[in-house]
Amino acid sequence: MHHLKEKFKDYKIILASKSPRRSALLSGLEIDFEVVSIAVDETYPPHLQAAEIAEYLSDKKARSLAPAPDEIILTSDTIVWHQNKALEKPKDADEAIKMLTQLSGSEHLVISSVTVRSSTYHKTVHDVATVVFRPLSQAEIEHYVYTYKPFDKAGAYGIQEWIGYVGIEKIVGSHYTVMGLPVLKVYQLLQEIPL
């Protein structure tokens, strides 16, 4: 048995996220966890920039739950940072098309943060990946938006979907960070957490 499983054998790890991608990625660490869905108002102070936004929102999600002494809460947030502003989840198809048109033929950052919280410990970290999109045609953008409806995704796209296959020229950093959970950072945080 590897050490994380051993370390947390008397604890309940709770992933507070509605994202099936985060759940799938976390299960790759071979730890047992439960998923709970939380509804948190995802507004943030307007002065925050880039990684500060992702960290603030991940931390806000963690603070919405009060862990019992045998529980570890794990929350995460992802933003797309392009031309000095955050692209969040699009409200509708028009907004998704607008976002992808902005990202087309350019480079952006994907910032994913993660927070671990126990009754005695609370820490938030983040990871950054750079993604380069080739120029996308209007037809490609519309096909993707109307077929895949990426309204639950920051920046209006999922790397693991068609647009990622045909549109992404280059990624510098972790593929998992772009998917929405910096798995290596999660592993390191769980190793660090004092029980």
Catalytic sites, residue numbers: 77
Partners of 112 in the β-ladder = 78, 127
**Spatial separation of the C-alpha atoms in residues 169 and 177, rounded to whole Å:** 17
**Spatial separation of the C-alpha atoms in residues 63 and 67, rounded to whole Å:** 9
> In the chain, how long is the greatest CA-to-CA distance?
53
**Spatial separation of the C-alpha atoms in residues 125 and 157, rounded to whole Å:** 23
Tokens 């790890």 locate to 13
Q: Which ranges in 68-195 belong to alpha helices (H)?
A: 93-103, 138-148, 162-167, 175-179, 183-192
Closest CA to 147 of 58, 156, 106: 156
Cα-based distances in Å from 12 to 54, 105, 106, 144, 174: 25, 44, 42, 38, 27
